[in-house]
A and B are shown apart, each in its own frame.
Chain A
Amino acid sequence: MTERDKKSVVHAEPTKDFFIRMITRDITLQDCIFDLLDNCLDGAGREIKLKQVNPQEEQRYLGYSAKIVLEPDRFEISDNCGGITLADAVDYAFHFGRRTDAPSDANHSIGLYGIGMKRAVFKIGKKINVESHADESFLVHIDVDEWAKDPKNWDFELEELPRREDHGTTIRITTLNEGIADEFRQAVFKNSLIKNIARDYSFFLQKGFAVAIGDQRVQPFQFGLRESQLFKPIKIQYQDETGVDVEILAGLAGSPPDDTSPEVKLADVEYWGWFVLCNDRVVIAGDKTDRTVWGEGAFQRWHPQYNGFMGIVSFRSTHPAKLPWVTTKRDIDQTSPLYRRAVAKMKDATRAYLDYTNERKEDLEKAKNLEQAASLKPLRQIALSEKMGLPSFTAGPKIKRVTISYQQPIEKVVKSKHAFGNSAMSNKAIGEATFAYYFKNEVEE
């Protein structure tokens, strides 16, 4: 071995290129925007704590807001959530990786790893301005290409600005990365962003936090479960041994479909299944996979027949690190014992509903009427209940049934649906309707 070989060292330092290219790959553009929105909310949380005001929980975020601008040449997010203090900027916000001694200073903070902001802005574009007004005011300008040229120096230059009364942060990004401008141009991207903010930040928006995309204010999605004399959602609360507070709700939220064949368009499908929340933030939405209960172990897999079911499991803690989420905050660490314990309870909460979707077929018309009559109730107003209340349908006298199956030209079928006054009716339904019509007119005395 030569002298030189002995001296060689393994360079384990991450390169900037790695950071810029690789880490930004693991996250979608929408999740990046959510990361930045999380920072706004954390800021608001800090401010509320700092000001030592104790707002009512229902209006906790009243007066705090974030505005997002998506233009083909520019991204901007600005808030009035307290700004970044100079110390935080130096130690955390512009430092790579959150320091382990970083205080968890916002109650029920959702930000976690100190990586979100940098990853998000690098994903979006190359010229970045972060302007912050807290007790001190400063501007950080990052020219990503310039910054990447110097392999050793990881620092960003910080320019002090005159202080300002209104505290808040504005991040402005220009020279957008390839593909980003195209996304911003898409009405679909914007629409789905608004829809998902409405859903994933629903509980913050309901507590007064205001989010606008351009000049459009996002209205919170109203989570609710149907409740009546006969329908009673499950609602249980417990403290896990880790100290994390857990709440589980489940029940009927929509209308179960009669016909689940592939050609049928089902409404609101993205809202059925399980939702997982950590500190009020939706981490998994409308899940129909084994990330929650479906097909997990011996449990039934999701079937379209279950549409209309909604389950919500909510984890809350003042120590966000205890919550069962991963760095992107868009997925759950499925191996977390805390989460496993909750899943066992979620399965219990789901079972009764699955049986109901079969039982209701005994008297479909009655079931549909009862379901429609049960009104949606906001989660907060739902009373604690260990068991799900569901109507039961005593099977009438057993009538032996047969299945009739036949094929017809699609044009004729479409015309018949029109004639029945519902062009969207399913093929199964038109089959039944035509038989019933024949029977009534030709057979029944």
Chain B
Amino acid sequence: MASFESVNYSIRPNKNIERKLVFEALRHLHGFIPLNDYRYIGLGSLWFVDFILAHRYLSINDMVCIEHETEAERVEFNRPYDCIVVQRGETTDVLPNIDLATKPNLIFLDYDSGPEGPILQDVELIAGIAKVGTIILFTINAHRGRLPTKDADGRDLEKEQSLRLIFRDLVPPMLPHGALTVDGYPKLLAEMLLAHMDSCVHRSGRGNKFLPMFNFYYRDGAPMITVGGLIADGLHEHNYRQSRVSELKWVTDKEQISVLVPPLTVKEKYTFDRLLPCDVPPNITELGFPLSEEQIAAYHNYYRHYPIFGEFQV
């Protein structure tokens, strides 16, 4: 069963916010690096949420959606725009057939898999050939349980062994304390993936640099991370700095940003919103209903992007 059969992506509040944060930052960058000339490559699934954002806010008209052969027909049916081409197959097989080198790409691959999936290969493939200016973003499952617990011959693997088998020299020789705990693992994972992107861009030998931009941790069920950044030469780096996009508090060099807003009723949301904007998050007395400090802080951070879901007749 594909993941879209179990959930509509647009109604997961934290994923929804994470997407908006990404596209708000890209829109900010758009004034300095014209993204409308880019090609968007994503895994649209049935909902094409990210494609709609890319078309609506960045005016991208050249779009490729990669989809498994078995699901492609339904995905094809659900294309929201004519400019979206569905390419059938696995990412690792399809990406080499897209001419990544002739124009810059905005690539946002939101995988169902974890680090054991195609991500490391795909990053290497893209970093090696994609035209300078390409922006890469990857989302993977960050649950520790995704690490294989046995090797190919069925021998038991410790978590650390399993990690080293997948990430090799990306794993610090001595794991920092707590790196494999529920809290520590998404950070470690993001750190290694960003290091991998940096390394792949560096090893492509084209003199480009990887500028990290995004490192999100969010959870609407399964813990997920989204990491990514810009493949830049001197000019792109200059334009990137000029855009001052990194002044947005969720555009970070390497530090992980958590997006963990609580589900709120409409009444709660309006009550909270009436107190905003404010520099210091309100306390429970001001709020008038109970929430944990973390929940208050999370909503305070991302209230502008908080989605309201409702039922409507079509």
Contacts and interface: CB of A to CB of B under 8 A. Distances in A.
A210 to B, nearest CB: 14
B153 interface: yes
B70 A411 contact: yes
B198 A187 contact: yes
B7 interface: no
Interface string A164-205: 000000000000000000110111100110110010000000
Q: Which of B153, B161, B165, B171 has the most CB of A within 10 A?
A: B153
User: For the side of the interface on A, what is the size category?
Assistant: 20 to 34
Q: Which of B70, B90, B195 has the most CB of A within 10 A?
A: B195
B221 interface: no
B166 A265 contact: yes
Interface in B151-201: 151-155, 157, 161-162, 164-166, 169-174, 191-192, 195-196, 198-199
A255 interface: yes
B151 A424 contact: yes
B148 A423 contact: yes
B128 to A, nearest CB: 15
Q: Which of A198, A255, A267 has the most CB of B within 10 A?
A: A267
A160 to B, nearest CB: 40
Given A264-B152, A424-B152, A191 B202 contact: no
Contacts of B238: none
B150 interface: yes
A425 interface: yes
Contacts of A368: 153, 155
Contact of A265 (B70, B152, B192, B202): B152
A422 interface: yes
Q: Which of B155, B161, B164, B192 has the most CB of A within 10 A?
A: B155
A372 to B, nearest CB: 8
Contact of A191 (B68, B172, B198): B172
B152 A425 contact: yes
Contacts of B174: 194, 216, 219
Contacts of A192: 169
Interface in B55-95: 68, 70, 90
A143 interface: no
A208 interface: no
A239 B160 CA distance: 42
A259 interface: yes
A437 to B, nearest CB: 14
B116 interface: yes
Contacts of A218: 173
B178 to A, nearest CB: 16
B199 A267 contact: no
A426 interface: yes
Contacts, number: 84
Given A186-B199, A264-B152, A429-B154, A198 B161 contact: no
A257 B153 CA distance: 7
A258 interface: yes
Given A216-B174, A424-B148, A258 B153 contact: yes
Interface residues of B, number: 32
Interface string B197-230: 0110010000001000000000000000000000
B169 A191 contact: yes
B153 A429 contact: yes
Contacts of B162: 424
Interface in A215-233: 216, 218-219
Contact of A194 (B90, B173, B196, B199): B173
A265 B164 CA distance: 11
A218 B116 CA distance: 28
A51 B155 CA distance: 51
Contacts of A421: 149-150
B47 to A, nearest CB: 21
A425 B154 contact: yes
A259 B173 contact: no
Nearest to B202: A182
Nearest to A187: B195
B70 A188 contact: no
Contacts of A266: 152
B153 A195 contact: no
B90 to A, nearest CB: 8
B216 to A, nearest CB: 20
A191 B68 CA distance: 36
A316 B272 CA distance: 75
B85 to A, nearest CB: 23
Contacts of B152: 257-259, 264-266, 424-426, 429
B161 A267 contact: yes
Interface in B209-260: 209
A429 B162 CA distance: 18
A44 B195 CA distance: 36
Contacts of B209: 182
Contacts of A195: 169, 173
Contacts of A194: 173-174
A411 B151 contact: no
A424 B68 contact: no
Contacts of B70: 411
Contact of A186 (B151, B153, B192, B202): B202
Interface of B: 68, 70, 90, 116, 148-155, 157, 161-162, 164-166, 169-174, 191-192, 195-196, 198-199, 202, 209
Q: When A and B form their complex, which 4 residue pairs have the shortest distance between CB atoms, in order from nearest?
A: A424-B148, A187-B195, A422-B150, A426-B152
17 contacts: A183-B202, A185-B198, A187-B170, A187-B172, A218-B173, A255-B153, A258-B152, A259-B153, A265-B151, A266-B152, A267-B164, A421-B149, A421-B150, A422-B149, A423-B116, A424-B162, A426-B153
Given A186-B199, A423-B116, A426-B152, 13 more contacts: A187-B198, A188-B170, A188-B195, A188-B196, A191-B169, A191-B171, A195-B169, A218-B173, A265-B151, A411-B70, A422-B148, A424-B116, A426-B153
